[in-house]
């Protein structure tokens, strides 16, 4: 199911990761999108994003992701600000995220930039 609002991109990310659906995660990104997979490391494009997210899926990570605020620039671009907690095995980490999402020609929304560590410093 495609995202019909900026906030829904995060909800679908949460759903796909918790279900272990790697291809569902990758499909939430524009083909040339950038994911900050860890502080200081950029994964650009679907192949790199798939590679960056695959350890989370393999580790059966579970995430709780909440959008706190959305700022729109016209009808086509938005930034979402959120908080997340992820558990994998006995480890738990949390952070604050900023994402840029863009409305596609079919009306759906996809990540352009996803930085889950942007607000942690």
* Model pLDDT for residues 35-53, shown as the tens digit of each residue: 998 888 999 999 999 999 9
Residue with tokens 């499909």: 27
Domain locations along the chain: 6-115
In whole angstroms, what is the distance from residue 11 CA to residue 13 CA?
Answer: 5
pLDDT at 118: 83
The reply to whether the predicted model has a pTM over 0.75 is: yes
Confidence of residue 99 (pLDDT cuts 50, 70, 90): very high
The CA-atom distances, in angstroms, between 12 and each of 18, 38, 65, 121 are 10, 21, 10, 26
The CATH code for residues 6-115 is 3.10.450.50
In whole angstroms, what is the distance from residue 10 CA to residue 79 CA?
Answer: 11
Residue with tokens 């989370």: 56
pLDDT at 38: 85
In whole angstroms, what is the distance from residue 26 CA to residue 108 CA?
Answer: 15
pLDDT at 120: 63
């Amino acid at each position: 199911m495609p995202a019909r609002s900026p906030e829904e991109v995060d909800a679908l990310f949460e759903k796909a990761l918790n279900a272990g659906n790697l291809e569902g995660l990758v499909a939430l990104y524009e083909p040339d999108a950038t994911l900050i997979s860890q502080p200081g490391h950029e994964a650009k494009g679907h192949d790199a994003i798939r590679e960056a997210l695959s350890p989370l899926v393999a580790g059966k990570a579970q995430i709780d992701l909440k959008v706190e605020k959305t700022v729109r620039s016209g009808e086509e671009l938005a930034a979402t600000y959120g908080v997340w907690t992820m558990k994998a095995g006995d480890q738990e980490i949390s952070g604050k995220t900023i994402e840029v999402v863009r409305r596609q020609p079919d009306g759906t929304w996809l990540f352009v930039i996803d930085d889950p560590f942007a607000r942690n410093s």
